[in-house]
Structure 1
């Protein structure tokens, strides 16, 4: 005779294993197929403040302007990530603090970042200016992409080259949202 408690435990364990597998598949740390991360990456040169010039639309940034990301290397090898942006509908600044970890060697610009405890998402630098003045970042797939720069604006010819690079990677550049930077962030 099979006990109901034993069946319940087995069913619960099967559900836990299935959910864990589904979460692992959804939260891939690998870059999208055909988009290799930058090699010879120097995190010390990447540190500091970057302005978000363009992004693909996602609910966690919807309606935000004046978005920036600041990266700071920590003694344990992780990277502190502070994302800030202005939410016009609420007339307030919003900030999220996270932690990034390299997924392999530190010379490959492939990291995983978390803003919510144990849940990580892929963060891959797919293109990078030799002087670390702009970068193209992608997430776990081509629906997540950003153009970051050290300044709130780039020359039109440079911006055009970056967009062409993104197109060559299969990113829908027609869907890019160009971010305005007109406010002074009270937290530099």
Structure 2
């Protein structure tokens, strides 16, 4: 009986140590000094909400084989941001995947500096780097300059505009040689 209690106690100690480690890592991730990223001066969140087609990106691991990606932003009753990313795996006919994240507006003067939680307890920087005056395209980046999304209200975007954006993002420090175009195929059989 004592042996079982000791073993259960050891499991509890390991569990508590793991939880504390996660909390410490999360606090380090959200409090360390972040590289400066110049965001849009002001984003009208009401106009920003809705669907955005992912046109080109420096992808995260789960997006490398994604097609038909749509990022949807909506406001919650608490004033936070609900981020829902829907895409198809491997092809436009592939299995649909949906990922939901919670977002917070970190800089309420500009509304362009957010924190997004892909997985508890993380809160990662998420920057609206560009948005055109008609809210027809936007560029989102991260604090480590590794991930970037060029998105449009339509599934197609002018190639010359994409190249101009890519040039500006290169000047900011993003490695645009790694940019990938996401297939957006919306035929009647989708």
Which stretch of the first structure deviates more once superposed, 93-102 or 16-25?
16-25
Q: Which residue of 1 is the match for residue 63 of structure 2?
A: 61
Q: CA deviation at 1:140?
A: 2.5
Q: Are residues 116 and 34 of structure 1, via their aligned partners in 2, closer, same or farther at CA, if it must alter by over 3 Å? A: closer
Residues 105-116 of structure 1 correspond to what in structure 2 (within 5 A)? 105=108, 107-116=110-119
Q: Are residues 75 and 13 of structure 1, via their aligned partners in 2, closer, same or farther at CA, if it must alter by over 3 Å? A: closer
Q: Which residue of 2 is the match for residue 150 of structure 1?
A: 153
TM-score (norm 2): 0.80
What is the distance in 1 between the residues matched to 2:105 and 2:20?
A: 26
TM-score (norm 1): 0.80
State the superposition RMSD in angstroms.
3.0
**Runs of at least 5 residues in structure 2 that lack an aligned partner in the other structure:** 1-14
1:61-96 deviation line (CA, Å, top 9, x unaligned): 121111110111122101111101100279200001
Aligned length: 179
Q: Which residue of 2 is the match for residue 46 of structure 1?
A: 48
What is the distance in 2 between the residues matched to 1:184 and 1:91?
A: 14
Q: Which residue of 1 is the match for residue 8 of structure 2?
A: none
What is the distance in 2 between the residues matched to 1:46 and 1:127?
A: 12
1:123-174 deviation line (CA, Å, top 9, x unaligned): 1101111111111111221001111111111112211211111111111111
Q: Which residue of 1 is the match for residue 103 of structure 2?
A: 100
Contact 1:48 1:72 in 2 (8 A): yes
SS in 1 for 2:163: helix
Contact 1:28 1:122 in 2 (8 A): no
Residues 123-162 of structure 1 correspond to what in structure 2 (within 5 A)? 123-162=126-165
Q: Are residues 84 and 15 of structure 1, via their aligned partners in 2, closer, same or farther at CA, if it must alter by over 3 Å? A: closer
1:2-55 deviation line (CA, Å, top 9, x unaligned): xxxxxxxxxx9998766544333345697x524212122110110110011111
Q: Are residues 181 and 137 of structure 1, via their aligned partners in 2, closer, same or farther at CA, if it must alter by over 3 Å? A: same
What is the distance in 2 between the residues matched to 1:167 and 1:123?
A: 18
